[in-house]
Amino acid sequence: MSVNLHPVAPVPFVSKQHQDTARYPHGVAFMDGQYLPMSEAKISVLDWGLLHSDATYDTVHVWDGRFFRLDLHLDRFFNGLAKLRMDIRMSRDEVAEVLQNCVGLAGHRSAYVEMICTRGTSPTFSRDPRNAVNRFIAFAVPFGSVANAEQMARGLHLAISNTVRIPPASVDPTVKNYHWLDLVKGLYDAYDQNAESALVLDYEGNIAEGPGFNIFAAHNGRLSTPAQNVLPGITRRSVLDICGALDIPVAEVPVSVEHLLAADEVFITSTAGGVMPVTKVNQTVIGRGDVGDLTTRVKDEYWRRHADPEWSTPVRYFVEGV
- pLDDT above 50: residue 15: no
Q: Which of 71, 77, 148, 136 is nearest to 102 (CA)?
A: 136
Q: What is the pTM of this model?
A: 0.91
Burial of 42: CB neighbours in 10 Å, binned 0-12, 13-18, 19+: exposed
Q: Which of 110, 114, 88, 107 is nearest to 33 (CA)?
A: 88
Residue 313 lies in a domain: no
Do residue 118 and residue 170 come from a single domain? no
Interval 134-163 mean pLDDT: 96
CA dihedral 46, 47, 50, 53 (to 10 degrees): 130
Among 144, 177, 205, where does a domain finish? 144
Among 144, 162, 187, where does a domain finish? 144
Do residue 292 and residue 206 come from a single domain? yes
> What's the CATH number where 177 sits?
3.20.10.10
- The predicted structure's pLDDT at residue 190: 98
- pLDDT above 90: residue 101: yes
pLDDT one-digit tens code per residue, 177-218: 999 999 999 999 999 999 999 999 999 999 999 999 999 999
Do residue 181 and residue 84 come from a single domain? no
- The predicted structure's pLDDT at residue 123: 87
Do residue 169 and residue 76 come from a single domain? no
Residue 315 lies in a domain: no
Distance CA 35, CA 47 (A): 20
Domain limits for position 98: 3-144
Do residue 275 and residue 137 come from a single domain? no
Residue 258 lies in a domain: yes
- The predicted structure's pLDDT at residue 18: 43
Please give the residue that has the higher pLDDT: either 24 or 313: 313
Residue 316 lies in a domain: no
Number of domains present in the structure of the chain: 2
Distance CA 8, CA 93 (A): 9
Interval 130-135 mean pLDDT: 95
Among 144, 179, 195, where does a domain finish? 144
Residue 180 lies in a domain: yes
Q: For the chain, give the percent of residues with pLDDT over 70.
A: 91
Do residue 169 and residue 245 come from a single domain? yes
Please give the residue that has the higher pLDDT: either 12 or 35: 35
Residue 312 lies in a domain: no
Interval 305-310 mean pLDDT: 97
Residue 320 lies in a domain: no
Do residue 153 and residue 133 come from a single domain? no
Question: HEC string of 167-208?
Answer: CCCCCCCCCCCCCCHHHHHHHHHHHHCCCCEEEEECCCCCEE
> What's the CATH number where 26 sits?
3.30.470.10
Distance CA 265, CA 273 (A): 18
Q: Per residue in 115-127, is it b (16+ CB within 10 Å) or e — as a string? A: bbbbbbbbeeeee
- The predicted structure's pLDDT at residue 318: 85
- The predicted structure's pLDDT at residue 6: 41
Interval 6-24 mean pLDDT: 47
Residue 174 lies in a domain: yes
